[in-house]
Homo-oligomer: A and B are copies of this chain.
């Protein structure tokens, strides 16, 4: 690795990966993401839901690499201790974050979900951190220093990576476009695969949104070639417009 390279470390957190109960998908996704952005993913560690081990790994990685990404352990159950460990690593408090709470409560209101102490754990954010938007299930990730704390569920992890992509200094300038569709992945899959097959220099990702009363899928396109990116985006938009017209769908105006 050369001195000028932008480097990253990845920390995967969770007993379920180490027991074999869950097959990790986030290492490969993060590796591809970094490569696309011209960032050199240089080390990965997987640790259990043990606070001291998370703290030690985060501190080792953040001292060594330009960026650290973590995945896992930010859900509502007692074994979700990543936020606690990150707060400890940075020696800051872990209060309920008003903005995070508002994001969660807005989604819960829409779905009629009860506010429980377990759910409110997800609004605890280390002091001084910025939120990372989670369009899929509302519970946000966060950035503190050079550490980006994200979800373990692969589709949410990927959506969060897309959310932070524009803020990262990579070796390659990558832009992204989002097309919102009021139809599910089943209707989009085949025609989208056809478009992707003709644009191997554009990365097309599909992110179904959960917890709404209506179907919503965000299609995110990413490339370092703006001309190709805009051409592919126009094709995806035309595909979605066609499906909307056919099914008489109008997207709600509210932001997510």
Q: Which residues of B are found within 8 Å of A140, using beta-carbon distances? A: none
Please indicate the chain B residues that have their CB under 8 angstroms from the CB of A31 in the complex.
17-20
Task: Determine whether the beta carbon of B19 is less than 8 Å from that of A222.
Answer: yes
Contact of A18 among B41, B50, B207 (CB under 8 A): B41
Q: Give every chain B residue within 8 A of A186 (Cβ-Cβ).
A: 76, 113-114, 116, 118-119
Closest to A215 in B: B210
Fill in one digit per residue for A1-17: 1 if any B CB lies within 8 Å of its CB, else 0: 10000000000100111
Q: A77-B189, A116-B186 are in contact. Are A15 and B205 (CB under 8 A)?
A: yes
**What separation, in Å, do the CA atoms of A241 and B37 have in the docked complex?**
48
* A214 interface hit (Cβ, 8 Å): no
List the number of copies, as a whole number. 2
Q: Which of A15, A21, A196 is the most central at the interface, judged by chain B CB atoms within 10 Å of its CB?
A: A21
- State which size class the interface on A falls in: 35 or more
**Shortest Cβ distance from A137 into chain B, in angstroms?**
9
Inter-chain contact A205/B20, CB cutoff 8 Å:
no
* A interface residues, Cβ below 8 angstroms from B: 1, 12, 15-24, 27-28, 31-35, 40-48, 50, 53, 75-79, 113-114, 116-119, 121, 153, 155, 185-190, 192-193, 196-197, 203-208, 210, 220, 222
Given A20-B35, A77-B206, 20 more A-B residue pairs with CB atoms under 8 Å apart are: A15-B205, A16-B205, A16-B220, A18-B43, A18-B44, A19-B205, A20-B32, A20-B34, A21-B207, A42-B47, A45-B46, A77-B185, A79-B204, A79-B205, A79-B206, A116-B186, A116-B189, A117-B190, A118-B186, A153-B210
